[in-house]
Structure 1
């Protein structure tokens, strides 16, 4: 950090070619420059500057390590190039962990969207938690994010439609858990109860069942979305344990009354449970429920829709319906080629149809 007693600047040149003279840089850190006239300038705006000789090397290093990356983030956000955010956000993220500034929010939000754009859903949870924390800490202060996209989230639950709490990649869940736990632990109190849902469902998919149960048991909210999600997570455990129980029965009875955001999850686990039945009609009913996901929710929940197609494809294969299996496989690979389950299919042998 610059020394406010020694730092001075006779000239700051901005990227838009504005030249600021006759001022002193009284301080600089990860969030930018503070001038002696009260102005603050963030790093993405700075092309170069002349500061006090004792501070010039530190200033140049910080500008080099931060300025271009931030400038690229602003560019990518403005044009909606979310895949292009990733490398720049990854480079900046460690420097902004623990900060709650405007710049920190841009970095966290960029990393979340960048990871989502390349299919790293599990890894996107940690920067989401940090972005949400900044928004909650700065509720009364406007945050200016470049571009038109804005984070859609429920401030009561802390849940976002960008991250439906269902996960498919066990190693990715295992890798994500420590960072998510640290991020949640550093949130301002009171923490939204949805954070327990995110951490608990990640732990469940990671195979840490006892940890998942412990965390999810701490949800005390009576918010309908959270109450339903608790039932869904218990049902998930029943499906994974191949043991139909009370949670699946409750899902069956309440499916038509579920909140819109939770109904696709309930459909998925009900469909998965029916695929394990010895009764062909039950299995067919399960496939129909899973096929509702791409038909009704494919645009909003592409990973969930892809999972529904994948398990339908496997079920058709077990029932020796090669033609049906090939048709579903084709839809999965064509509509959801960036999904986790499409990548799984790409690793499997080609299906042979009947003559």
Structure 2
């Protein structure tokens, strides 16, 4: 079918939009969330009211928001990209001025009924503005130096604000997510090679700055790096979390110990067992089979997003879908690598599984944008 034929759009209207929704994606997201409900019940000792029920209510709200966003035409979200980005920047500044402190970091704004983490909103707003930028920019200019500096600025400004909180994990996700959108938009490989070289130089600078007046990371962040490189140096201190996590992961074997039978989580050896380290509880109770099954669910979500993007002739919709899929991938890849000792502990939750309001609602709103792009993509008559 020719490109011109695709430009003759038959946009669904009213109730017909429901038929065009990506229902496979809805089912997969619900399946992942159900795993989270199960594990939150387990780590609470069988009590659903502590973590599971609030999470179910948030998911129901998030799913409703996702479908409402999906019914709105994609051109509206394209026009809203700049406003969403500026609003997210203002929220990050607000965190710096009067944000709520928790676990040594200032990352939240207390709204009364929930604590909002603006950096979560920025992850999606950044994808939106970059997708809108490359939708506006002619393809011939994508790799020209001046037009590459613009998206770099869009990425680095919020990254700097997030690093001040401090939140190294989210800062890494912002840079990586923005870079993936630029790559999908067609930016030359040479720029990425240059960035990798700069990253190597930055890593060297970080280690060289340790103990100096211009130290680039906080002391606790350096301790996380030390722990990552050799957890046995402080098994009862900085290395305790990752050591216990590895014990839980290994003790699950192929099929696990059974639901609510995980000793590491039940006896409170696992830190943050309902948030960052919930994957280790899954692996301990359901073994390799359970952990791999969750990974398959995530993989299928990514696959359906990629297929939707490849079939979308609207450049904004395609880049937006790929950017959100990349954000999801980075979320679970960093979390799983972290709890397995393959990456430093940077406080990244497992999407739709870890307990938390901001992350779940923002992620489901993001998949509402994916639904909007899928429902309103150009179709031939």
Compare the two structures and name the one with the higher helix fraction.
Answer: 2
Q: Same fold (TM over 0.5)?
A: no
TM-score, structure 2 as length reference: 0.28
Compare the two structures and name the one with the higher strand fraction.
Answer: 1
TM-score, structure 1 as length reference: 0.29
Largest Rg, 1 or 2: 1
